Amino acid sequence: MMEKEKILISACLVGLNCKYNGKNNKNIKLIELMKEHDLVPVCPEQLGGLPTPRPGAQRRENKVITQEGKDVTKEYQRGAEEVLRLAKELGIKKAILKSRSPSCGVDTIYDGTFANTLVERDGVTAELLRKNGIQVVSSDEYL
Ligand code: SF4
């Protein structure tokens, strides 16, 4: 039997309650994808050591800041590095990531002002994976 392709996926998309507010972003189309692919769920924010629930945060220049002004850059970076390490260990070449998240967002995220304004930028994990040659796909492709 041919081995199924391994794809990283934001854990909240397959129903894990790892979102900042303790909920998930369950997406039935992506759960269906599990039949043909070997989906590997990861939550970089949890892997970076942050609790759930946790304060919402946004990328602002070179940092990640919560709405209350706490600098959580280190945790976001650590989570991204953990996800990259896992991807390399498993030989993963593709990731499907939750849109607009400061970690997982692909191409578009919030601008750091907490005013619902979007900018063209990747989340911290999406950016690191992309830099390392892993294809990143937004969950918006599966709406
Ligand atoms: S960090 Fe990514 S996987 Fe974790 S809850 Fe946010 S969008 Fe989902």
pLDDT averaged per 10 residues, the chain (length 143): 89 98 98 94 98 98 97 98 98 98 98 98 99 98 95
Interval between CA 3 and ligand 1 midpoint (Å): 27
How many angstroms separate the alpha carbon of residue 99 from the centre of ligand 1?
9
How do the domains of the chain map onto residue ranges? 6-142
Report the predicted TM-score, pTM, of the whole model to 2 decimal places. Answer: 0.97
Predicted pLDDT of residue 95: 98
11 lines ligand 1 (CB under 6 A): yes
Nearest to 57 by CA among 45, 43, 41: 45
Q: What is the pLDDT of residue 1?
A: 64
Strand 118-120 with 108-110, pairing: antiparallel
Dihedral angle sign, alpha carbons of residues 121, 53, 84, 80: positive
pLDDT (0 to 100) of residue 56: 97
Measured CA to CA in angstroms, residue 52 lies from 8, 16, 46, 80, 121 at distances of: 21, 11, 7, 17, 25
> What's at 127, amino acid-wise?
E
